[in-house]
Structure 1
Amino acid sequence: MDHAAWNTVDSLVAWLDAGSDLPPETRTILQILKITEEAGEVAEAVIGATGQNPRKGYSHTWEDVQAELCDVIVTAMVALTRVNPDARQVFADNLSRIAARSLAGPAPAASPEPR
């Protein structure tokens, strides 16, 4: 991930910290919980983009889903930075580990078509 993205995350952490009088440990815990909140907004957007809520119908677009997914990613990056100041390296190391584990073997088999 490029340095500009991580620099922006560092700025967001500083901005959030400046606006909070909570202890650092509490900020970290709440930031981790925020990931779940944002993931719920992704789910809501997918339900809205597919029209699966009979009361609301098509209330979201796939662009809304994309934006909500970005919110999850940024929120997780902020949380990782709060947990470990060397978040850039932690992320890079884990991405490499995941790639090695996942990309080393054959591609997953496609699911059979439902009958």
Structure 2
Amino acid sequence: MEDLWAQIRELRGRDERRSGAPDEVKELLLVTKVSEEANEAAELYRRMKGWGTDGVVSATLPEVQDEICAAIMAGMVALDRLSPDGSADGVWRSYLKYGYDRAKKENAAS
């Protein structure tokens, strides 16, 4: 299997090509794609629960999971775009460590 960030760069290339936007706008589109996908996940979750649909369930857990993955993937694509020097992996790992250390500390204190 290819390296994670090589796969992300392939996805980024596709997304940038599909946008058809000028180069200076592509970055903004990739960043806003994160919230678009996250909102789609939230909407599917609501429909999976039957909330606001008179109890009718019109989405499945796998659909919600797929949209959550789409949001994560969009975030990684945007992070790669904002890290032109190839530092996305280091940025991600550093932030993950920060979040992990903070959660571990808070969990131990409770």
Q: CA deviation at 1:78?
A: 0.5
Unaligned residue ranges in structure 1 (runs of 5+): 110-115
Equivalences for residues 4-43 of structure 1 within 5 A:
4-43=3-42
User: TM-score of the superposition, structure 2-length normalised?
Assistant: 0.84
Closer, same or farther in 2 for the Cα pair 1:108/1:61, shift >3 Å? farther
Closer, same or farther in 2 for the Cα pair 1:38/1:108, shift >3 Å? farther
User: TM-score of the superposition, structure 1-length normalised?
Assistant: 0.80
The answer as to whether partners of 2:5 and 2:89 remain within 8 angstroms in 1 is: yes
- Partner residue of 1:100? 101
Equivalences for residues 1-115 of structure 1 within 5 A:
4-54=3-53, 57-85=56-84, 86-106=87-107
Which one-letter code corresponds to 2:88 in the other structure?
A
Count of residues in correspondence between the two structures: 108
Closer, same or farther in 2 for the Cα pair 1:108/1:42, shift >3 Å? farther
Bigger radius of gyration among the two: 1
Closer, same or farther in 2 for the Cα pair 1:52/1:19, shift >3 Å? closer
The CA distance in 1 between the partners of 2:65 and 2:75, in whole Å, is: 15
The CA distance in 1 between the partners of 2:108 and 2:60, in whole Å, is: 30
The CA distance in 1 between the partners of 2:18 and 2:70, in whole Å, is: 19
Which one-letter code corresponds to 1:102 in the other structure?
A
Unaligned residue ranges in structure 2 (runs of 5+): none
The answer as to whether partners of 2:47 and 2:53 remain within 8 angstroms in 1 is: no
Closer, same or farther in 2 for the Cα pair 1:103/1:25, shift >3 Å? farther
